[in-house]
Amino acid sequence: MKKALSLLAAVLFAAALAASGQAPAKKLKVFISVDMEGVAGLVHWDETSEGGADYPLFRRLMTEEANAAVAGALEAGATEIVVRDAHDSARNILPDLLRPEARLIREWNGPLSMMEGIDKTFDAVVFIGYHARAGTPDAVLKHTMSLTLYDVVLNGVRMPEGAWNAAIAGHFGVPVVFLSGDSAICGQIREIVGPIETAAVKEGMGPAASMVHPVKAREMIQKGVAAALRNLKAYKPYRPAAPYKLEIVFTDENLARRAAMVPGIERTGERSVAYASSDFMDIVLHFSLARR
């Protein structure tokens, strides 16, 4: 009897909404992965880690750029927001300053790394504070995952972190719709993943950079995230085709030697190894093992 009454109540509620011209609110779940090197104003390694004199300042600016992304998501109607602290220690974002509408994931916990927490229930992914891959000309603090890796190549494509993380999102059927960082990564991500909304908050000039004011950067991020999420149908998940071949080039030959000790990983050169699989998550797991 109670079940029948609940069903009747649901039907009556839907009918009332239809009569009023209002549709039931659509859920919009957004995953925001936040790195630090691409934050506006930041230009030196000392500013990115504990012990650097200006690290507290850039922790705050990183948090505020995350907040700008959250604000843009809320403006577009987001009903659930998860923020992943995805830089260095994964303990950079200041929890008390993060907007309370978002849940925060801190510390590392498994092979998904910068995408830990993503799953198929999300509707969109946003990248904040991202940077270009190692070796990119005129890119601010360019590197690939860590300073021990020179190249990560998936199916012949040299991957910046943003593309690798987009492939993880794509595995779960979730599109990346927005990225902020320097102009170099904005170009790289569009070239690999396809058209997405970007905000270039600085431009590399060798080891220096020309950049917008942090307040302006936050305005760009909020506006861009809101616009992207209002136009979700324009974006598709990034899904490299199986079978997958992963090639890793280290900066030190001893790291390649150690990685080749992982079962299935093959030494292919002085500083390089490779692994192949038809299972993308198997590729992700072996990449994690090879980096240890």
* Of 143, 171, 213, 286, catalytic: 143
- The verdict on 89 and 184 lying in the same domain is yes
Domain end, chosen from 234, 253, 268, is at 234
Same domain, 263 and 134: no
Residues 104 and 201 in one domain: yes
Q: What is the pLDDT of residue 15?
A: 47
Mean pLDDT of 223-229: 98
* Residue 3 predicted with pLDDT over 60: no
DSSP class of residue 276? E
Q: State yes or no: pLDDT of 183 exceeds 80.
A: yes
**Amino acid identity of 117?**
G
Position 291 pLDDT exceeds 70: yes
Q: How confident is the model at residue 292 (pLDDT cuts 50, 70, 90)?
A: confident
202 plus 253 within the same structural domain: no
Same domain, 69 and 182: yes
Q: Do 187 and 283 sit in the same domain of this protein?
A: no
Question: Does the residue 19 lie in any domain?
Answer: no
Neighbour order of strands in the sheet with 197-205: 102-105, 80-85, 29-34, 124-130, 176-182, 197-205, 208-211
Token reading at 249? 């080039």
Q: Do 198 and 75 reside in the same domain of the chain?
A: yes
Give the integer Cα–Cα distance in Å for 139 and 60.
23
SS3 for 163?
helix
- pLDDT for residue 5 is more than 50: no
Q: How many domains is the chain partitioned into structurally?
A: 2
Structure tokens at 86: 């995805």
Residue 252 predicted with pLDDT over 70: yes
Q: Is 143 a catalytic residue?
A: yes
Overall average pLDDT of the 12-30 stretch:
59
Burial of 86 (0-12, 13-18, 19+ CB in 10 A): buried
Tell me, yes or no, whether 80 and 205 share the same domain: yes
| pLDDT, tens only, 30-76 | 999 999 999 999 999 999 999 999 999 999 999 999 999 999 999 99
Q: What is the pLDDT of residue 250?
A: 98
Whether residue 7 is predicted with pLDDT greater than 90 in this model: the reply is no
Looking at residue 123, its pLDDT comes to 98
pLDDT tens readout for residues 97-154? 999 999 999 999 999 999 999 999 999 999 999 999 999 999 999 999 999 999 999 9
Residue ranges making up the domain that contains 277: 244-291
- Say how far apart CA 219 and CA 60 lie, in whole Å: 16
- The CATH number that applies at residue 93 is 3.40.50.10780
pLDDT of residue 25: 58
Q: For 271-282, what is the mean pLDDT?
A: 98
Q: Do 216 and 255 lie in a common domain? A: no
Look over the chain and give the mean of its residue pLDDT values, rounded to a whole number: 93
Residue 5 falls within a domain, yes or no? no
pLDDT higher than 80, residue 6: no
Q: Provide the whole-model pTM.
A: 0.91
Provide the β-strand partners of residue 198: 179
Do both 130 and 175 map to the same domain?
A: yes
CA dihedral 137, 139, 144, 146 (to 10 degrees): 120
Q: Is residue 153, in this structure, part of any structural domain at all?
A: no
Residue 26 pLDDT class (50, 70, 90 cuts): confident
Nearest to 141 by CA among 269, 41, 229, 218: 41
Residue 1 confidence (pLDDT) above 80: no
* 13 pLDDT higher than 80: no
Asked if residue 14 belongs to a domain, the reply is: no
